[in-house]
Structure 1
Amino acid sequence: MAVLVLSLAAGAAIGRLWGRHDAGRDYARLQAQYQQSVARSADDLAGLHAKVDLLQGQLSVEQSTRSGLEASLQHAQDELARARDRLAFYDQLLPPGPKGSIGIRAFEVRAQGPVLHYRVLLMRNAAGDAPFKGRMQFVATGLRQGKTVKIELEPAQAAGGQGAQPGALAIEFDQFQRSQGLLSLPDGFIPQTVTLDIFEGKTLRASGSADVPLGDGP
């Protein structure tokens, strides 16, 4: 009987020890799994932080680019508004003629030694589908050897003596055209007035004159 009791007690002790051993293994396994899960979560969080930083950087660049584009657009709109105001001002000074007509809205000349500097503003009322193509012709009236003469002026020679600038007097535009350049003056010729004629083919479309200011020259 005593031996039986001792055997039962020993079996119970061994069972408790075995149970504790299994519980320890389960705890170690769970702890390892938990640590692995924590490590994966940390990696995922780091990846999310990196993605957020990248998106914030892209957003900053896009906002900066958008601000620059908005500023450029506003500047272009301001320039367009000023151009329309100037056009309306010119229209008030000199109302446009019939549809398709060419008008010389501004024309001035200034002698600079052996050349004549000119500036021209041309406008076309109700531009059509095709642009206006023509040419400018300058005829100066002045004194030469004490006599009043008229001389057709040619474009000044390009630097290096390569001859007149090709196409310097040709014009092509839809509604308005600003043009400026230099015209050669013959030796001994003193210009007094200059007439600008606008031709389309052989047809005279517009004409205007400008005085050469006194005192201009070398």
Structure 2
Amino acid sequence: MGTFNTNGVKSKKYGGSYPVWLTINQKERSGGTLEYLPPIGTIIRSGSLVSIDGAGGKAKIIETFEVAENVTATDTTVKVQAYASHPKPTNGTNLMKSPTTVGTTGTGVAVAGVALDSANGVVTFTIAANAFGTLAKGDILVKASKAGTGAKIYAVPSGLTENDVWVEEGDQYATVASVFHGEIMEDRIQPIPDCIKEVLPQIKFQKGI
């Protein structure tokens, strides 16, 4: 079962969560409070990348997305996978190609026209032609610090969330627990770029389980 770390004027219980952790050895002390409360109905899945700036501090969620189809330099539509375990992009989010290291800069692109294509299991969004250059199926896009040149990954992750967080009407804030030492089923969480795995050396990512 997940814990639903939201606080507001009412509470509600939900069904079982989608298990992703095999073992949890160490968590960041005190966890953190989300820097802003997402829209009502949002589910932040366990195993989401998170950066907490100190015990009980602000928690930033770093969304990543797996490209579902090749994108040419002239294309103005991008498709990303819409798996239940993956976050969904929102209009105005800045994204960039996953860099080679977490400190490498790139070009941030603000997405628009986000739409769910349930029949094909993808989310589509629009960009300016050549905004990303070219993309290959399976490439990973990551939330960026800004649009334009000189963008970096939105925040350097310090761990992955332990539990699901559900946002409902009446919630005023939400907290997360961050695991930095453990074993997780990689096929059940958002895509994790190699550059991020390098800064989470005590997380063992297991595939095919």
Where is the helix percentage greater, Structure 1 or Structure 2? Answer: 1
TM-score in same-fold range (> 0.5): no
- Length-normalised TM-score, structure 2: 0.27
Where is the strand percentage greater, Structure 1 or Structure 2? Answer: 2
Which gives a bigger RCO, structure 1 or 2 (Cα 8 Å, sep 6+)? 2
- Length-normalised TM-score, structure 1: 0.26
